[in-house]
Structure 1
Amino acid sequence: MPHIEIPEPIPGIRGLMAAKPASGLKLNELAEQLLRGPSPLTPGERELIAAYVSHRNGTRYCTGSHTAAAAHTNGGDYELVEAVKKDPETAPVDDRLRALLRIADKVLGDARTVGPEDVAAAREAGADDEAVHDTVLIAAAFCMFNRYVDGLGAIVPEDPAAFDAIGSHLAVRGYLAPRQ
């Protein structure tokens, strides 16, 4: 049950955004830019980072929706997403993404612990400065999104199929298109 009045019982962040549409639009534009805009990271890699950060933050709604979006943007591969959430060190991802996930993990804890050695390791694994930048910004933004959703008690669906539908919508239509 949300801690604030929302116009209708819409699950997750969308319901909260409906309570303050001007802010919601800006947040959706930010998510669209971060997860679908120009980047050396694929939408699938960016959704994996979002799902991983949301999982580590314990935010059920964002974990469910971005797990599904990551799976849908990675060819329907839920096993990959679950492996990343469980342990990026053993997940079947390349060294570049593994190094970026290490950076994301530090951002969600104490971002000041990201050091030159972390960036050097990401570069050595094939990441460029833009990929490092985008990883840090996605991780930081998802900490904010996660706290927004949890802090206002967003509605969380119980049915996993609801998350699959949300993730499919995000993968196909992005963050600016309204849900049908």
Structure 2
Amino acid sequence: MKTLFITLAALLGTQLASAETAQIYKTFDGSIVRCQGNQKTNGSLGSKAIQVELINATNSQKDLDASLKVSVVRCEDSRWVMDANPSRENYIADNNVAVELTYSNYEALVVDKNYQVVSVLNLADVENLSAQTQSLSVNKTAENPQDFEVIVRATVEVRASNGYYQKEIRSFGSYRLRLQK
């Protein structure tokens, strides 16, 4: 029993001595970050948003291994809820034109402070299930804090009843993944 207690104390001491944290923050970058009323019934474009959560972060000497949960949410009754149809959105524009948006090829780019891509996460399940948990491993440096940007984007096709068509890659904004000692 005494040996178990000493071993446990040594492990806890080691854990406290190398206390590092990993956190994720939404960065203000021009994307819609507020939810007021019911944007879907107001006919406004952009009622979809992305939520990113950091789960199961574990540190080693060289790497951070973590899981990111990426979810498609939409504004309903002044709050964000899981989107039941993450691959489509329909609305009537102010000029009475019916508009359909189709979202596909969701992905997350993880970039370092020099905007070099360190990882590309394929988020294929987001299109059907509204959420996906994806493993991520990044190399740690001596920098403190060490920041990465997680940029979530998708291919969006816009079709309107007046014949308008456009296909683009749309960014849902970015999140800062911060490693700090």
TM-score (norm 2): 0.26
More helix by share: 1
Query: Which structure: larger Rg?
Result: 2
TM-score (norm 1): 0.26
More strand by share: 2
Relative contact order, CA 8 A, sep 6+: which one is greater?
A: 1
